Chains A and B, each alone.
Chain A
Amino acid sequence: EAQVTQNPRYLITVTGKKLTVTCSQNMNHEYMSWYRQDPGLGLRQIYYSMNVEVTDKGDVPEGYKVSRKEKRNFPLILESPSPNQTSLYFCASSFSRELGETQYFGPGTRLLVL
């Protein structure tokens, strides 16, 4: 089954404790992306990658890191999480950078930073 998977689905952590949210897709997609969703703000792009070893900042990259060492994986790293990073996070992928290619979303990761 074609899908984007994220782990963990739910995470409670404390301020400053490094964490990684994994994202993997099995569709051989070139383009991958991370978003955060907050009430009243919609989805905001954190980072995106158009291919292996190519990553770019989205609108809200501060406090986050990503890497794209393999085509299928695009982990999101919070080196020192803070309470304002409490949010719902989505990973997404699309076949290419072409405009008509929609994104396929993972199920989301709910993060609470205490």
Chain B
Amino acid sequence: AQKITQTQPGMFVQEKEAVTLDCTYDTSDPSYGLFWYKQPSSGEMIFLIYQGSYDQQNATEGRYSLNFQKARKSANLVISASQLGDSAMYFCAMRVYYTGNQFYFGTGTSLTVIP
């Protein structure tokens, strides 16, 4: 079975500090991709970062980096230098290739940045 687990329902971080949002996954598909999306209070879904299962290096996009540990099946999102605008819900998602090409989402982590 394919599954994404986010165990932190809510997180707080001081402005300008770094924060790590946890994500673990489970799949038997040898080819998969891992995504992080941000959902502000306005409701839209914003793509942040992607990591492929065969990628050797951790993905980075500006202040976002993905700490990919394949053996542990984890894909944690690290946000550096947090800003007030980072307050939002964050979803980890997985796309599998051979077993149906579906997307699977975690339950999300609500991040609040404190001034």
A contacts, CB < 8 Å to B: 31, 33, 35, 40-45, 48, 50, 56, 58-59, 88, 90, 92, 97, 99-100, 102-105, 107-108
Contact = CB atoms under 8 A, between A and B. Distances in A.
A88 B89 CA distance: 15
A102 B94 CA distance: 10
Counting chain B CB atoms within 10 Å of each CB, which of A43, A56, A108 scores highest? A43
A56 B52 contact: no
A27 B98 CA distance: 25
Interface residues of B, number: 26
Contacts, number: 59
A40 B107 contact: yes
A100 B95 CA distance: 9
A37 to B, nearest CB: 9
A71 to B, nearest CB: 17
A48 B104 CA distance: 12
Given A42-B105, A100-B33, A107 B91 contact: no
